[in-house]
Structure formats: C-alpha cells, structure tokens
Amino acid sequence: MLDYHLHLWPHGTPASQPTLDELAAYCDAAAAQGVGEIALTEHLFRFRQADAVLSGFWADDPNHELRTSMAAYWKAHAHADLDVYVDAVLEAKAAGLPVVLGLEVDHYAGRMDTVAALLDGYPFDVLLGSVHWVGAWGFDQLGDPAVDAEWDARSVESVWDTYTDALEELAASAVCDVLAHPDLAKVSGRRPAVPDEWYDRMAEAAASSGMAAEVSSAGWRKPAAEAYPAPPLLSRFRKAGVPATTASDSHGLGDVASRSAELRALLADAGYETLTSFRGRSATQVPV
C-alpha cells in the first residue's frame, strides 16, 4: 500500500522546518499500517513562491464576502519556502527513507501555465491535482461563515457542475499526475440525487488526461462520511483504465495511512490489483 497524500502542517498553524526525524516518524507510522511508501504532498499555496505569482486569483469573483474570505485564507497560509521543503524531502530520500517528493497543486482557473512554469525545474516525483475552490469560493473550508452561506445559496447540481468544469480544465492542463479526492464536491455531505452524469465526466477527464485517481480515506473525516471517490465513481475509473493511488491526506502524524485496510477493500471491490508509484513523474504499477 501507499500513502501518496500527506501534509506536514495542519491548516491554521504556521509552517515549520521539516526535519529528518519528522519524516522518519511519518514513514514509521505508515509502516505500522502496512504502507511501505509515502509521498509528501504539501499544498502549493503554503509557499511564498506561489504567493508571488498566484495571489489574487480570486479577484474577479463578484462576491465580496468570498473574496475577503479567500484573501484571508491565502494570507494565513502562503509563508513557507518551497526550496527548503524540497531539500528536506530530498534529504530524507537520500537517507534511504521510503518517501517521494510531491506537492498538492491546486486548480487555478486560466493560470495553469503559470503553475507549470513555477514548478518547472523542481525534481518532483508526483504532483497531485486538486480542485479546492471555484472562483473565490473555497468550498471545502467548511465552518467559514462566507463559505457555508454559499453552500446554502447554490443548488447542489450547480456546485457539481462548476466543480466538474474545473476538474476537467485541471486534467486537460496536464500539469499534474494524480487527481486528488476526485469527488471533493461531496465534502459537505450534499450530493445530487443521481450523480451519474458528473461521475461520467470525472472518469472521462481522468482517462483522457492519463492521470491516476486517488482513493482517499479523508472523506471519512468530513461530513461526506465516505472515501473519495464513491464506489460507483471508482468503478468507472477502473472501467476507463484509470490507474489508482491510495492516500490519507493527513495534515500531521495522527492520520498517516489511516483506514488503509478499508481502502484496500474498496480497491478490491472495484477490481484494482495494482497501485501507481511515481519516480520523477513516471508511473509504475505496484501490487496493492
């Protein structure tokens, strides 16, 4: 098993200097759950280098409350140094820890060329592609009053439409290797009565881009109360030939490799016999 989605810093806490001991503790926690290889995938928006070229991506959104909320969220996060992070993970790799260098890259509408230019030249093993916001609405920042009000103002179908539009653009950009938490639009627990048309679009977006799809236990920790993706979407990925990774999306040591056995069962039910490991952005299939 793999845990290919791990953060060092919880939201709302400042970034710290990653140490070899900290990364070794992640590897040990993963191994205790039968997970033999991990990817560190800190959020791109935690880094000053992203702030320099992507800050203000929300400025065109007509909703003042959402713009204010996103600006505050961004300002609270974008302080770490990407080079320091990269060097720390490379040091852990060089020391023989079973860790690969990744990043969780967000979708920035119309700006994925800027993202690609920013990341060019870094020795990443794997890049996760995530849709965390549409316009200035960070729809998974549940509990923020402006974010929650927007959930009440929009129909669930329109949310899934807008989310899927963004996911399709992200996949078509070919900037990333893995679609993270593919059906994150369900995070609040609201789902369309019949989600098939959106599932079909998500599977097509992954298949046509050549990306892998992440199977993540993080959804169990959210109001959605199930893994990402839902079993019918995972089946579609399998039928469309989309490879898979597994992930916890832990934002600290506590949830590293959480519920790996349940993820293994979901994969088996969908017919997956291998997972996708990455080195230098190249994929290899490994046994589940």
- Interface with Zn ion (CB under 5 A): 104, 130, 249
Q: Minimum distance from CB of 159 to Zn ion (Å)?
A: 17
Q: Minimum distance from CB of 8 to Zn ion (Å)?
A: 11
Query: By beta-carbon distance, which residue lies closest to Zn ion?
Result: 130
Q: Minimum distance from CB of 107 to Zn ion (Å)?
A: 11
Q: Minimum distance from CB of 271 to Zn ion (Å)?
A: 26
228 forms beta bridges with 216
State which residue, 130 or 246, has the beta carbon closest to Zn ion: 130
CA–CA dist 93, 42 (Å, integer): 16
State which residue, 250 or 277, has the beta carbon closest to Zn ion: 250
DSSP codes, 94-144 = HTT-SEEEEEEEEP-TT-HHHHHHHHTTS--SEEEEE---BTTB-TT-TT-
Q: Which residue has the tokens 């589940």?
A: 288
What angle in degrees, to the nearest 10, is found between the helix axes of 112-119 and 156-173?
40
DSSP codes, 4-62 = EEE-SS-TTS------HHHHHHHHHHHHHTT--EEEEEEEGGGBHHHHHHHTTTTTT-S
State which residue, 39 or 88, has the beta carbon closest to Zn ion: 39
State which residue, 133 or 237, has the beta carbon closest to Zn ion: 133
CA–CA dist 120, 46 (Å, integer): 18
Q: Minimum distance from CB of 247 to Zn ion (Å)?
A: 8
Phi-psi region of 268 (alpha: psi -120 to 50; beta: other; left: phi over 0): alpha
* 140-152 core/surface letters (b: 16 or more CB in 10 A; e: else): bbeebebbeebbe
Closest CA to 90 of 245, 284, 279, 253: 279
Are 79 and 48 in contact, with CB atoms under 8 Å apart?
A: yes
Q: Minimum distance from CB of 50 to Zn ion (Å)?
A: 15
The rounded radius of gyration (Å) of the Cα atoms in the chain is: 18
Are 80 and 91 in contact, with CB atoms under 8 Å apart?
A: no
State which residue, 3 or 104, has the beta carbon closest to Zn ion: 104
State which residue, 37 or 249, has the beta carbon closest to Zn ion: 249
CA–CA dist 75, 31 (Å, integer): 35
Q: Minimum distance from CB of 259 to Zn ion (Å)?
A: 16
State which residue, 131 or 270, has the beta carbon closest to Zn ion: 131
Q: Minimum distance from CB of 62 to Zn ion (Å)?
A: 25
CA–CA dist 193, 274 (Å, integer): 32
State which residue, 271 or 276, has the beta carbon closest to Zn ion: 276
